[in-house]
Amino acid sequence: MPYRRVILLCCLLGLSQGEVAGQFNTFGYFQTSFQHRTSFPDEPAQNFFSLQQLNLFFQTNISRRWGAFVNFEVLNNFSSSRRWGSFNLEEAWLRYRHDARFNLKAGLQIPVFNHLNEIKNRSPLLPYIVRPLVYETSFNEFIAVEAFTPTQAFLQAYGFLSVGETKLDYAAYLGNSPNIRSQFDNLRDGGDGQTGVDTTKTLLVGGRLGLRQGNAKAGASATYDVTNAFQGAEALFGGPATRFEGVPRIRVGGDFSVHVGRFSFEGELILVSHDEDEPELNVDNEFFYGTLGAQANERLFVYASYWNTVQREVAFDIRTSDGIIPVFPIIVDIESIQVGVAFSPNERITLKAQGGPVEVVQRATVIPFGDITSRQWDFSIYGVAASVLF
Amino acid sequence: MLALAAGATTASAQVAVIAHKGVPVDSLSKTELLDFYTGDAQSWRGEMAVVVFDLKSRGPVRDAFYEYLGKTSSRMRSIWLKRKLSGEGDPPESFETEVEVLQRVASTPGALGFVQQATVSGDDVKILVVIEIDEG
């Protein structure tokens, strides 16, 4: 029947505009970039294009109080056949909104932690090409971004209370501890455990308290969970095989941002401490960033940003001439000043340029013998990018 | 509270914050207005959903409105974009002309918008706030 074709056509047109019956929305964005890294000892300069990130959202308002949201994220020129990058389900949650004072989200979600965690992968919102390092998810193959910030929660209550012109924000959440089983674990152990889930009885607990007034806001965040990442350290420090199981980990964060006229400042501090009950072993992490920006006009934003990251890792398979297999802390201190501009010719496109020097200092220590290597790399990175909303 | 012009100003130099006649309030504080326009508040005293409208293009009326709220257009865009990309809500629907805003506010229960006061005639909408346009 001809009218059925018309109805079908109308449905297809509706879908192509990303909306069905005004209730179901599909939208997203991508960021594509060209970057140049200068050379440093042992490493030649590098030029590369990258589709850094693509996010695809599905959102629906089921009713006035209920809503749902799904976020797929694709990183680093993803290709499954070539084994490039990654494709991830980042969020899939159901929200109940009672009022501004109380909202509840259930399902996979990015928890509130400091200012940037929740929006770290919303590239159209950010002026950066390379984000402050612990938020740069496209670097997660070589920076332990998940050690610094909680990346997943499954149940979160949040909202704010108004006291005059001041708002008291809160968020409290539960999630998995980081001891998640993977296919790699199954292959290694010959097991067949359920992947993607916490293998221990412990949970991630966290939250943020904040104040907002006018164009300023500040907050304090914290999380608690336990990690098995240091299992094996008993080979050096002695004790039973279970000694370094379930090491408590506490992340503490502080954030502050203010807009004054055309100028803005935002900054964050993150301290990650582990209660590993071994004074010789320090595997704590630290991160700070501060960005000073100016909105030159409605479309042009310029900024300078300082980043400092101290990341301590542990390797277990370093064999010395004595034949022992010691715990091997590697301390990586990364410092950078980045300057950049973000220009939005219209509501959907943001063009970005960014660059600056990076200093990386790595120290590796075998605990009984002190520092055995200390290396430093100085280089610069420059990039241009386009972030596009669709 | 109302930002009524203290001095001698003409009606055309004022912005009227207008709402559908059925909303359960007769005035708004600046904080309440800001909460509606940033998405922090989404209902009229918990009774009725608020539907916020905006003007598409920059001009003295839109600039005066956001200046009154203490936000630049780019800051407001950032706030709305964050809400949208976080799945928390959509930006206000925006219109090219003040007449369109007036008509949509008059015909949409719970609606809130702003136009030049001279645009408002009759009693199709409630005027909740009057903002003076700084012509200096």
Count the domains in chain A: 1
**In-domain check, residue A6:** no
Q: B85 — contact with chain A (CB < 8 Å)?
A: yes
Q: What is the CATH number of the domain that holds A180?
A: 2.40.160.10
Q: Do B74 and A299 touch (CB under 8 A)?
A: yes
Per-residue pLDDT reduced to its tens digit, A101-129: 999 999 999 999 999 999 999 999 999 99
Residue B136 — pLDDT band, cuts 50, 70, 90? low
**In-domain check, residue A213:** yes
Residue A371 — pLDDT band, cuts 50, 70, 90? low
**In-domain check, residue A61:** yes
pLDDT of residue A331: 87
Q: B96 — contact with chain A (CB < 8 Å)?
A: no
Mutation site, A31, A298, A341, interface B, largest B CB count within 10 A: A298
A233-240: list long-range contacts, CB under 8 Å, 24+ apart: A233/A276, A233/A278, A233/A281, A233/A314, A233/A316, A233/A327, A235/A316, A235/A324, A235/A325, A235/A326, A235/A327, A236/A324, A236/A325, A236/A326, A236/A327, A236/A367, A236/A368, A237/A278, A237/A280, A237/A281, A237/A327
Q: Which domains does chain B have, with CATH numbers?
A: 14-132 (3.40.190.10)
**In-domain check, residue A17:** no
Tell me the residue range of the domain where A115 lies: 23-389
Per-residue pLDDT reduced to its tens digit, A122-158: 999 999 999 999 998 777 767 788 899 999 999 999 9
Per-residue pLDDT reduced to its tens digit, A52-68: 999 999 999 888 889 99
**In-domain check, residue A3:** no
Residue B1 has pLDDT above 50, yes or no: no
**In-domain check, residue A93:** yes
Q: Do B86 and A119 touch (CB under 8 A)?
A: yes
Report the complex ipTM: 0.83
Q: Do A125 and B78 touch (CB under 8 A)?
A: yes
**In-domain check, residue A51:** yes
User: B 40-79 residues with CB below 8 A of A?
Assistant: 40-43, 46, 49, 58, 70-75, 77-78
Of A119, A160, A215, which has the smallest distance from its Cβ to B70's Cβ? Answer: A215
